[in-house]
Amino acid sequence: MRFEDLDLSDEILDALWDMRFEECTPIQEATIPHILEGKDILGCAQTGTGKTAAYLLPTISKLCTEKYDNDKVHCIIMSPTRELAQQIDQAFQGFAYYAQGITGIPVYGGNDGVRYGQEMNGLKSGADIIIATPGRLLSHIQMGSVDFSDVRFFILDEADRMLDMGFHDDIMRIASNLPERHQTIMFSATMPPKIQKLAEDLMKNPEIIKLSVSKPAERIRQSCVYVSDDSQKIELIERIFNYAKDMTKVIIFAGKKDGVKKVNKILRKHKIRSGEMHSDLSQKERDDIMFKFKAKQLDVLVATDIIARGIDIDNIQMVINYDVPNDAEDYVHRVGRTARAERDGIAVTLVDKKDLRSFKEIEQFLEYDIEINKELSSFINAPLEAPKYDETKEKRERSRGNGHYRRHGAGGNRHGKNGNRDNKEIRNSEKNDNRRSRKGKKTHPIKQPDRPQK
């Protein structure tokens, strides 16, 4: 379906014309008509499918065509991280370029007092759209600097990630401040029971739209290396970058910030232009790292899952999973950072004994075995066949509550007692004629984002 076929305002269609957006992605085609009709929506689709435009386009369109009080907030968009909030704001600026009078303000932590004051002024003057992280918005609510009496749209982006990060109570507190009459729109990459429960608590007869989670793109060459411990992981990382000194645009994912810091320190020692991204950094530091990586001033970005979803970074050549992600969908999100926009990409996962169960679950989800990278394995004399996986032994250890399973909760849940530690820190810290005339319009000044993969 083409955007021209949807009942979007001319202001939105003009912006889409200039940005060369013509065809809807499946999630956009499935959800935009329902949002325009005023229905509550629960949409499930993986990252990179165009979910941001799926809610921004109809929301801005309705703000353009319906009458609202100019001095009130009309839409709240919740984001789990500052980086995603910034990206949503950038998309808003592009889509709303011709929407005269429609204003938006990003609200997130990690800034100084000057920025906080600017946020307060923007909220008090009645920005149409607030794009916020939960903790920061609650802070403004407690300060009495925001009026929610005319909020018509309550949107949660990456809702599953927000719940993973412990934001459930914050979301409910924010929702309790909203007027009875409003439209709730929730997007998630996954649909676990906790998302369904949240939808029951926040929504009225929602339209549930679920697109199946895709497997990694065929252009990604996936492989693994079986290692004995962290020391072998470090040795392999060193050898990879000594062997291929011209490697650029590489992301290394580690499960915890301590791993991020350790790997980045090793890379720096070997004169590799690398940077780290984790919850200990201030917003200014995180912005600076992202700018340098996107501008090719850094070749390698070592990061936690803070950038695994939703964040657009062009031309990633290689993804290395220093730690095996805890579930298959996280794996898909990580390796999906590469091989975008019809390009090829490489994804290598380092697997040690404690990660065997998670890795086997990933292969079961993919419905194929990930090949062993013989070349990289030879660098550290790693085995060229997978270790035997004793499922009976694993179950026996789980029943005793020992080791890996005691640390991560029953069944290997990464959100057990300690598994959520880094996430908590992230928390704190006349239409056809008008349309034909578009060809003569000036070029839209906002850079066109990469088209989502279909």
Digit-coded pLDDT (tens) for 393-440 = 555 554 555 444 433 433 344 344 344 444 444 444 444 444 444 545
Q: Which domain holds residue 203?
A: 3-212
Q: Rounded mean pLDDT of 127-134? A: 94
pLDDT value at position 389? 66
Mean pLDDT computed over every residue of the chain = 84
428 in a structural domain? no
Cα distance between residue 432 and residue 373, in whole Å: 55
Pairing of strands 345-351, 250-253: unpaired
Domain count, the chain: 3
The residue whose two tokens read 């920025």 is 115
Q: Are residues 204 and 231 in the same domain?
A: no
Mean pLDDT of 260-268: 92
pLDDT digits (tens, 9 = 90+) for 30-41: 999 999 999 999
| Residue-level pLDDT at 211 | 85
Rounded Cα–Cα distance for residues 114 and 118 (Å): 6
Please list the residues that pair with 275 across neighbouring strands: 301
If asked whether residues 275 and 398 sit together in one domain, one would say: no
Domain boundary among 212, 231, 259: 212
- 213-227, 399-413, 434-448: least confident range: 399-413
Q: Is residue 335 domain-resident?
A: yes
Last residue of a domain, one of 212, 247, 282: 212
- Is residue 366 within 8 A of residue 328, CB to CB? The reply is yes
What is the model's pLDDT at position 397?
Answer: 52
Q: Cα–chain-centroid distance for residue 184?
A: 20
**Residue 448's pLDDT is what?**
44
User: Which tops the pLDDT comparison, 57 or 393?
Assistant: 57
| pLDDT over 50 at 282, yes or no | yes
pLDDT, one tens digit per residue, over 321-344 is 999 998 888 898 899 888 876 788
Tokens 């060809």, residue located = 439
Kindly tell me if the per-residue pLDDT of 248 is higher than 90: no
In this structure, the answer to whether residues 255 and 192 fall within a common structural domain is: no
One domain, residues 172 and 240: no
pLDDT greater than 50 at residue 255: yes
Is the domain of 258 the same as that of 170?
A: no
Question: Residue 365: which of 249, 261, 216 has the closest Cα?
Answer: 216
Residue 425 tokens read as 């820190």
CA gap 10, 94 in Å, rounded: 14
A 10 A CB-CB count for 374 gives: 11
CB 450 within 8 A of CB 341: yes
Indicate whether 204 and 298 sit together in one domain: no
5-15 residue pLDDT tens? 999 999 999 99
**Residue 86 corresponds to which tokens in the numbers above?**
């910034």
The whole-number pLDDT of residue 310 equals: 62
Q: Is residue 354 part of a domain?
A: yes
Residues 309 and 417 in one domain: no
Q: 453 pLDDT exceeds 70?
A: no
Say whether both 257 and 230 belong to one domain. yes
78 with 13, same domain?
yes
Which of 161-175, 268-282, 301-315, 344-358 is least confident? 301-315
pLDDT higher than 90, residue 138: yes
Q: Are residues 249 and 141 in the same domain?
A: no
- Structural contact between residues 387 and 359, judged by C-beta atoms closer than 8 angstroms: no
Among the residue ranges 22-26, 351-355, 428-432, the one predicted with the least confidence is: 428-432
How confident is the model at residue 69, as a pLDDT?
A: 72
> In this predicted structure, what is the pLDDT of residue 409?
38
For residues 144 and 244, membership in a common domain is answered with no
pLDDT recorded at residue 432: 47
Q: What percent of the chain has pLDDT over 70?
A: 83
Q: What is the pLDDT of residue 59?
A: 97
How long is the chain?
Answer: 454
Tell me which DSSP letter residue 421 carries.
H
Give the residue from 158, 188, 212 where a domain finishes.
Answer: 212
Give the count of alpha carbons within 13 A of 152, CB side only.
17
Q: Could you tell me if residue 432 is inside a domain?
A: no
Helix axes 82-95, 283-294, angle to 10 degrees: 60
Task: Report whether 272 contacts 299 (CB < 8 A).
Answer: yes
Residue 89 pLDDT more than 80? Answer: yes
Looking at the structure, do residues 372 and 333 belong to the same domain, yes or no?
A: yes
Q: Is the residue at 441 inside a domain?
A: no
Q: Is residue 347 part of a domain?
A: yes
- Beta-carbon contacts of 99 under 8 Å, excluding residues fewer than 6 positions away, are 9, 11, 12, 15, 60, 63, 64
Identify whether 404 is part of a domain: yes
The DSSP secondary structure of 245-309, one letter per residue, reads TT--SEEEE-SSHHHHHHHHHHHHHTT--EEEESTTS-HHHHHHHHHHHHTTS-SEEEE-GGGTS
Sorting pLDDT into bands at 50, 70 and 90, what band is 110? Answer: confident
Q: For position 129, which CATH number holds?
A: 3.40.50.300
Is residue 433 in a domain?
Answer: no
